[in-house]
Amino acid sequence: MPLVSLFTVVVALAAASAIGVAWRRRNGRFTAQTPGEVPMLRELGWQPGTPLTLLQFSSAFCAPCRATRALCEQAAKTVDGVRHVEVDAESHLDAVRELGIMRTPTVLLVDAAGTIVRRASGQPTRAQLVGAITAVLGEFTTAQ
């Protein structure tokens, strides 16, 4: 009987480890989205004509949300054509449902036409955010 118990523990640990590794690899990673305008973006603070808007969904007691806010604000200050808008997920539940926001922080990259072009669920790294901005804007210039 102890051998069966040991086997069960080893299988459980292996499964938990695999899930943890998959979670870490996916956290904060930007993925391309299918094109299509989302009308509710104006209600959330997106403005037409802005080359790129970092639309961040946050919640009140989310520590990764604060770090993501600082990262997005810095990008908006240093990269021409980038604007950061933070949305309280709890106050905009209809938008959360419609956009499929499953956790906070979630950052949506919205182009000038109102199309969500990239999405990251979880706290992105600086490299992930810069890579996504570069992918959308191409070569960008820094604000002076």
Per residue in 57-94, pLDDT tens? 999 889 999 999 999 999 999 999 999 999 999 999 99
- Average pLDDT score over residue span 35-55: 81
Per residue in 112-141, pLDDT tens? 888 889 999 989 999 999 999 998 888 655
Distance of alpha carbon 56 from alpha carbon 64, whole angstroms: 12
Distance of alpha carbon 66 from alpha carbon 123, whole angstroms: 9
Q: Is the pTM of this model over 0.85?
A: no
Which tokens is 87 given?
Answer: 């949305």
Task: Report the pLDDT value the prediction gives residue 16, as an integer from 0 to 100.
Answer: 80
Q: Can you give the length of the chain in residues?
A: 144
Which tokens is 46 given?
Answer: 């997106």
